């Protein structure tokens, strides 16, 4: 069918608008039918953007006042007059996506290697096969770059296009042959066996295959049905193909050894089997607006260094440039491997922590815990130590952290690939992972913590810390771990629970206010007023009752009325927010809420829900009724006999404020007719005289609106005929009525009042005031330590009540570490996206004094800290960029580490609104220095016991 349509389309040259509409329709159909195994095609972003501009130029010239879609949309009005100024694109040219590396696979498209660091939306767009076929039939060109859709593993309905398949190096022992292949991570181990035997001319019974990651036999790969993804096989790792003795099944002897370079040499065979990974986004592929939002800034693209496997020098041995006398160590950059600035910035801050720099440059191997089931069998510590030594070697060129990245992907798959990630999340993983790899405790004792039971805090805190050290003792604990005091109080029985827990870093909130602004649309049910948007201020840790009370005050609620609060999703009532004690934190900023003013509920009342529907084209010859707008509700008594005519009257009353002016009933049988409008002066004021409106309705003969009642069996009953038809009401079920709006009926009402329901809180551009008004780091710390109720998701089990309780929680700092890491919570999470706070935080560079914030007053150690490093985050999510500001302590000078680029900066330039993670180091006083020396001697004795 596709080929026929294509050949027909090419018989005449189409206009840009006709091309746009045809591609849009093909894409919509393809998106609806995408399944695992389908093919998608890479097309260069440059050509795609040219075509987008070409087919949208008429819209740009003729819809200047239309802001709904913008110049990049593929939807729009096809009746615009033609005014073409941009030339039609020439043939598709994907050459800028192609790598120079050799490939011996001659299968169409799949044997062509693409650059390793391409980004979707910046370098290429993914198109469904049907869209590619149509564009190719019009423009030709190439080369064709086909990739497969795979199951993403997140759910049964989420897919991904595998743009980069696994690249594996097969090493044959004892012969010493090798070959580099490409294979889908969703292929089975059995398929890898088959391919290996095919490449090296071996029989299946002759070989066994090992996961040879890091040139160590990790696991025998003999489960033929298991996928490579499930076997945790990583990009660019080695696979050992072991040839067995045909007689007894043992491995043939041989003295072959392989160089540990991580890549095949240039003479290796390259076989591409299946295509690798990028998010499947048809909408993104067909919308230049969405592409631009995911693209990099020009500055970021210019600063990014792209390196390809096998083409960069091995930094272990290469050392271009002259080593100058007295050159400082630690001024070596890290190459960006493609969106790895998040990793580079975190690594640079850690390797420039003096305690870590000293530790990993000495012999730390004796402290590696090879047996710790919570660790990474020492591999993370070894990879980090090796990278740190390279970065501290003087006079070095930038280092490509590819081996470390591979280790990271193996043990933390969430950081695999080349998407942007959160630097703070990576930092948390590294600190925890390094601790477990270097934990001096080889056999952790079981310890049952005792409750405080009124004992002195000092006694309980020391007991908790001793228990913690008995199981956790490493350089990371020595340097970075402190201790909280956590106090929980039951709101019912007032039971107090005190614990003392370790922490690795502090996550401080930037939204330090105790109130929250919420926007809700208020609807009347008696036809007395138009819907109105109401913005109220409520306690941030408040409950539903606080919001209902604030709305009641704001909309002048009568004594006989009450507010019914609901959440609207997809134009339907998703839930009633009835429980007045539920926390407001369950309402997200991107939720849509509606409040209805109704008569106070009495026993036996039930709600009538009016759902608006209109016809939408589903296919070329089919239509369906779909909900739109905001539902309306009214309260009815189950004790009364309700007829269909009564429901008609109730619905007409609710819709009265929406009637357009100068309309009168003229035909009792026409559903599109309407009731007489009220006085214009009333409508301008946003209110209608209830009595006069009711009188007007009563004087006129009501039209029969196209209403459908949904009964208990989910059957629709037509209410447009039969005034006296009785309606059965149930006190346990709401009455759901559909109002099917025809195009004629829609012309009679101002329906825009029921559409565009606002979000609870809309994030807009940061105001100039917000940018310039500093927020003190001390204020953030105080907000973090402030007592507040737990969110409902973190309810506490009260041991006295034997129930889950929403306890109040209070944190205090009890013990501070030598290096204090502070994470500023710039990102807030809603259901659909992240929001970044651009608040400028005024943080001290010198003498950050925490003396008054430490609850344990026994210590004579200094509680003053100096800043020595920080991670910055610039831009938005996904396309943002990370850098590090670091002070070299031996030089007493600040530098900016931007991937491979390092430049000196002034201390006054260290502070900015981009600061994200701060690294403070305790200022050593004479007293604290002697205490530290003493604790070091104790630590040596303690460590020797493990």
Instruction: Express as a percent the part of the chain with pLDDT over 90.
Output: 30
Cα 923 from Cα 865, distance rounded (Å): 5
Residue 404's nearest CA partner among 424, 425, 371, 433 is 433
Is the pLDDT at 69 greater than 80? The verdict is no
CA angle 427-429-432, nearest 5°?
A: 105
DSSP per-residue letters across 285-325: HT-HHHHHHHSPPHHHHHHPPP--TTTS--TTT---S---T
Task: Specify burial of residue 366 (Cβ count, 10 A radius: 0-12, 13-18, 19+).
Answer: exposed
Residue 887's nearest CA partner among 918, 933, 853 is 918
Question: Which tens digits make up the pLDDT trace of 441-470?
Answer: 998 888 887 877 788 999 999 999 999 999
DSSP per-residue letters across 70-98: -TT-S-S-TTPPP---SPPP-SEE-GGGB
Element (H, E) at 3: helix 2-9
DSSP state letter for 703: P
Beta bridge partners of residue 635, listed in sequence order: 607
Q: Check residue 449 and give its pLDDT.
A: 75
Most confident listed range (213-227, 587-601, 668-682): 587-601
Residue 506's nearest CA partner among 928, 868, 932, 919 is 919
Q: Is 881 a catalytic residue?
A: yes
Residue bearing tokens 């913590």: 449
Mean pLDDT across 744-771:
77
Q: Check residue 286 and give its pLDDT.
A: 34
Task: Supply 743's token pair.
Answer: 């195009």
Is the pLDDT at 84 greater than 80? The verdict is no
Task: Supply 9's token pair.
Answer: 């389309």
Q: Are 379 and 369 in contact (CB under 8 A)?
A: no
Q: Are 192 and 239 in contact (CB under 8 A)?
A: yes
Task: Supply 51's token pair.
Answer: 């075509």
Q: Check residue 722 and give its pLDDT.
A: 61
Question: Which tens digits make up the pLDDT trace of 7-19?
Answer: 333 446 888 888 8
| SS3 label, residue 737 | strand
Cα 894 from Cα 908, distance rounded (Å): 10
Half-sphere exposure for 362 (CA within 13 Å, toward CB): 10
Task: Supply 357's token pair.
Answer: 């720099």
Question: Which tens digits make up the pLDDT trace of 803-815?
Answer: 888 888 899 999 9
Other Cβ atoms less than 10 A from the Cβ of 649: the count is: 16
Lowest mean pLDDT among 68-82, 391-405, 643-657: 68-82
Mean pLDDT across 480-506:
92
Mean pLDDT across 520-545:
88
CA 96 to mean position of chain CA atoms:
30
Is the pLDDT at 275 greater than 50? The verdict is no
Q: Between β-strands 788-789 and 808-815, what pairing exists: parallel, antiparallel or unpaired?
A: antiparallel
DSSP state letter for 102: -
Lowest mean pLDDT among 407-411, 543-547, 644-648, 938-942: 938-942
Is the pLDDT at 944 greater than 50? The verdict is no
Element (H, E) at 173: strand 166-173
Q: Check residue 792 and give its pLDDT.
A: 67
pTM of the model: 0.49
- Cis status, amide bond into 143, omega within 30 of 0: yes
Mean pLDDT across 235-259:
63
Is the pLDDT at 653 greater than 60? The verdict is yes
Q: Between β-strands 819-825 and 915-922, what pairing exists: parallel, antiparallel or unpaired?
A: antiparallel
Q: Check residue 106 and give its pLDDT.
A: 30
Cα 527 from Cα 916, distance rounded (Å): 52
Is the pLDDT at 866 greater than 80? The verdict is yes
Q: Are 489 and 496 in contact (CB under 8 A)?
A: yes
Question: Which tens digits make up the pLDDT trace of 514-532?
Answer: 678 899 999 998 888 999 9
> Greater confidence, 250 or 319?
250
Q: Check residue 606 and give its pLDDT.
A: 84
Give the C-alpha distances (Å, rounded to integers) separating 888 from 258, 394, 870, 892, 922. Answer: 39, 14, 12, 6, 16
Question: Which tens digits make up the pLDDT trace of 551-569?
Answer: 998 888 888 889 999 999 9
Q: Check residue 555 and give its pLDDT.
A: 85
Q: Which CATH class is domain 166-243?
A: alpha beta
Catalytic residue selected from 352, 571, 873, 881: 881
Cα 750 from Cα 686, distance rounded (Å): 13
Is the pLDDT at 799 greater than 80? The verdict is yes
Cα 615 from Cα 624, distance rounded (Å): 5
Q: Is 592 a catalytic residue?
A: no
Mean pLDDT across 155-182:
80
Assigned CATH for 16-60+90-99+109-162:
3.30.2230.10
Other Cβ atoms less than 10 A from the Cβ of 294: the count is: 18
Q: Check residue 112 and give its pLDDT.
A: 81
Element (H, E) at 432: helix 423-437
Most confident listed range (298-312, 766-780, 895-909): 895-909
Domain boundaries, the chain: 16-60+90-99+109-162, 166-243, 342-438, 515-617+624-659+703-755
Question: Which tens digits make up the pLDDT trace of 309-355?
Answer: 222 322 222 222 222 223 357 889 999 988 899 999 999 999 999 99
Mean pLDDT across 616-645:
81
Give the fold, CATH level 3, of 515-617+624-659+703-755.
Answer: Ubiquitin-like (UB roll) (3.10.20)
Task: Supply 315's token pair.
Answer: 């930094």
Q: Check residue 602 and give its pLDDT.
A: 76
Q: Check residue 350 and give its pLDDT.
A: 97
Domains 166-243 and 515-617+624-659+703-755 belong to one CATH topology: yes
Mean pLDDT across 703-715:
83
Q: Are 596 and 633 in contact (CB under 8 A)?
A: yes
Give the C-alpha distances (Å, rounded to integers) separating 778 from 482, 775, 793. Answer: 18, 9, 28
Element (H, E) at 732: none
Other Cβ atoms less than 10 A from the Cβ of 85: the count is: 9
Q: Are 851 and 862 in contact (CB under 8 A)?
A: no
Half-sphere exposure for 915 (CA within 13 Å, toward CB): 29
Cα 725 from Cα 713, distance rounded (Å): 18
Q: Check residue 829 and give its pLDDT.
A: 61
Q: Check residue 261 and give its pLDDT.
A: 36
Cα 400 from Cα 315, distance rounded (Å): 7
Is the pLDDT at 105 greater than 80? The verdict is no
pLDDT tier, 395 (very low <50, low <70, confident <90, very high otherwise) = low
Mean pLDDT across 42-51:
90
Can you list the alpha helix ranges (DSSP code H) found in 525-613?
544-554
Cα 254 from Cα 199, distance rounded (Å): 21
Is the pLDDT at 942 greater than 60? The verdict is no
No. of helices (H) and no. of strands (E), the chain: 23, 44
| SS3 label, residue 209 | strand
Q: Check residue 593 and give its pLDDT.
A: 95
Cα 239 from Cα 196, distance rounded (Å): 10
Most confident listed range (96-110, 652-666, 733-747, 877-891): 733-747
Q: Are 82 and 60 in contact (CB under 8 A)?
A: no
Lowest mean pLDDT among 116-120, 210-214, 272-276, 849-853: 272-276
Task: Supply 554's token pair.
Answer: 């704001």
Catalytic residue selected from 193, 300, 341, 885: 341
Q: Check residue 531 and give its pLDDT.
A: 93
Lowest mean pLDDT among 16-25, 224-233, 436-445, 746-755: 224-233
Question: Which tens digits make up the pLDDT trace of 291-314?
Answer: 222 232 323 323 332 222 222 322
What value does the mean pLDDT of the chain take? Answer: 76
Cα 10 from Cα 20, distance rounded (Å): 15
Lowest mean pLDDT among 364-378, 445-459, 862-876: 445-459
Query: Assign residue 851 a region: left if phi > 0, alpha if psi is -120 to 50, beta otherwise?
Result: alpha
Backbone dihedral angles phi then psi of residue 828, each to the nearest 5 degrees: -105, 145
pLDDT tier, 723 (very low <50, low <70, confident <90, very high otherwise) = low
Residue bearing tokens 């942007």: 420
């Amino acid at each position: 069918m596709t080929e026929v349509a294509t050949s027909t389309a090419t018989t005449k040259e189409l206009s840009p608008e006709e091309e746009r509409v045809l591609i849009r329709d093909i894409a919509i159909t393809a998106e609806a039918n995408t399944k695992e195994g389908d093919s998608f095609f890479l097309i260069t972003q440059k050509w795609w953007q040219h075509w987008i501009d070409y087919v949208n130029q008429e819209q740009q010239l003729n819809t200047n006042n239309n802001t709904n879609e913008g110049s990049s949309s593929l939807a729009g009005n096809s009746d615009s007059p033609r005014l073409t100024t941009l030339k039609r694109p020439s043939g598709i040219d994907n050459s800028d996506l192609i790598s120079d590396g050799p490939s011996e696979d001659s299968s169409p498209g799949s044997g062509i290697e693409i650059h390793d660091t391409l980004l979707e939306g910046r370098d290429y767009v993914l198109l469904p096969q049907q869209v590619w076929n149509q564009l190719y039939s019009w423009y030709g060109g190439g080369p064709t770059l086909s990739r497969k859709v795979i199951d993403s593993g997140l759910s049964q309905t989420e897919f991904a296009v595998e743009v980069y398949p696994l690249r594996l190096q097969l090493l044959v022992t004892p012969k010493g042959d090798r070959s580099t292949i490409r294979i889908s991570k969703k292929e089975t181990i059995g398929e890898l066996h088959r391919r290996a035997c095919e490449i090296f001319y071996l029989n299946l019974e002759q070989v066994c295959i090992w996961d040879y990651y890091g040139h160590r036999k990790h696991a025998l790969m003999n489960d033929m049905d298991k996928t490579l993804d499930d076997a945790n096989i990583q990009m660019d790792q080695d696979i050992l193909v072991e040839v067995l003795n045909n007689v007894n099944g043992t491995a043939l002897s041989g003295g072959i050894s392989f160089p540990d370079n991580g890549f095949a040499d240039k003479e290796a065979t390259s076989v591409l089997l299946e295509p690798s990974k990028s998010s499947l986004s048809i909408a993104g592929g067909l919308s230049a607006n969405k592409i631009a939002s995911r693209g990099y800034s020009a500055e970021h693209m210019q600063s990014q260094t792209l390196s390809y496997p096998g083409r960069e020098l091995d930094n272990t041995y290469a050392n271009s440039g002259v080593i100058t006398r007295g050159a400082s160590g630690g001024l070596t950059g890290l190459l960006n491997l493609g969106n790895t600035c998040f990793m580079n910035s975190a690594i640079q801050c850690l390797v420039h922590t003096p305690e870590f720099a000293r530790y990993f440059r000495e012999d730390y191997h004796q402290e590696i815990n090879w047996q710790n089931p919570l660790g990474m069998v020492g591999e993370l510590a070894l990879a980090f130590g090796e990278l740190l030594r390279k970065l501290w070697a003087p006079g070095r060129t930038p280092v490509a952290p590819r081996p470390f990245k591979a280790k990271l992907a193996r043990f933390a798959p969430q950081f695999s690939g080349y998407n942007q990630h959160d630097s703070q999340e990576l930092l948390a993983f590294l600190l925890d992972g390094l601790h477990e790899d270097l934990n001096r405790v080889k056999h952790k004792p079981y310890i049952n913590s005792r409750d405080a039971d009124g004992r002195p805090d000092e006694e309980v805190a020391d007991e908790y810390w001793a228990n913690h050290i008995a199981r956790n003792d490493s350089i990371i604990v020595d340097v970075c771990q402190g201790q909280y005091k956590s106090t929980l109080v039951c709101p019912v029985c007032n039971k107090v629970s005190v614990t003392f827990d370790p922490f690795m870093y502090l996550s401080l909130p930037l939204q330090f206010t105790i109130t929250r602004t919420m926007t809700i649309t208020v609807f009347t049910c008696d036809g007395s007023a138009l819907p109105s948007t109401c913005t109220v201020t409520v306690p941030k840790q408040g409950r539903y009752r606080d919001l209902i009370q604030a709305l009641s005050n704001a909309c002048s609620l009568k004594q006989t009325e009450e507010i019914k609060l609901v959440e609207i999703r997809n134009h339907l009532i998703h839930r009633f927010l009835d429980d007045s004690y539920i926390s407001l934190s369950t309402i997200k900023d991107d939720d849509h809420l509606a409040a209805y003013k109704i008569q106070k509920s009495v026993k036996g009342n039930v709600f009538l829900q009016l759902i608006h529907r209109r016809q939408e084209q589903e296919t070329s010859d089919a239509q369906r009724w779909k909900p739109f707008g905001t539902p309306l509700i009214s309260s009815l008594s189950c004790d009364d006999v309700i007829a269909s005519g009564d429901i008609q009257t109730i619905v007409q009353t609710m819709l009265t404020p929406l009637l357009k002016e100068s309309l009168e009933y003229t035909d009792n049988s026409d559903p599109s007719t309407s009731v007489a409008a009220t006085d214009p002066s009333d409508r301008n004021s946003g209110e209608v005289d209830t009595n006069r409106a009711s009188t007007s309705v009563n004087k006129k003969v009501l039209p029969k609106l196209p209403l459908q009642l949904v009964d208990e069996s989910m059957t629709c009953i037509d209410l447009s005929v039969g005034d006296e038809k009785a309606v059965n009401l149930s006190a346990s079920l709401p009455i759901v009525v559909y109002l099917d709006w025809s195009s004629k009926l829609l012309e009679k009402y101002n329906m825009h009042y029921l559409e565009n329901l606002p979000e609870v809180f809309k994030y807009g551009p940061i105001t100039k005031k917000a940018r310039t008004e500093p927020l003190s780091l001390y204020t953030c710390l105080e907000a973090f330590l402030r007592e507040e109720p737990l969110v409902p998701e973190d309810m506490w089990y009260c041991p006295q009540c034997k129930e889950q309780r929403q306890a109040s929680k209070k944190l205090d700092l009890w013990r501070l570490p030598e290096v204090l890491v502070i994470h500023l919570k710039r990102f807030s999470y809603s259901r659909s996206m992240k929001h970044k706070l651009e608040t400028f935080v005024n943080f001290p560079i010198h003498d950050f004094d925490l003396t008054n914030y430490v609850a344990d007053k026994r210590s004579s150690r200094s509680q003053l800290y100096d800043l020595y490093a920080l991670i910055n985050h610039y831009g938005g999510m996904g396309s943002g960029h990370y850098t590090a500001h670091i002070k070299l302590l031996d030089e007493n000078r600040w530098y900016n580490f931007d991937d491979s680029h390092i430049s000196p900066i002034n201390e006054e330039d260290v502070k900015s609104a981009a600061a994200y993670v701060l690294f403070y180091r305790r200022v050593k006083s004479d007293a604290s220095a002697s205490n530290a020396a003493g604790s070091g001697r104790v630590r040596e004795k303690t460590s020797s016991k493990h």
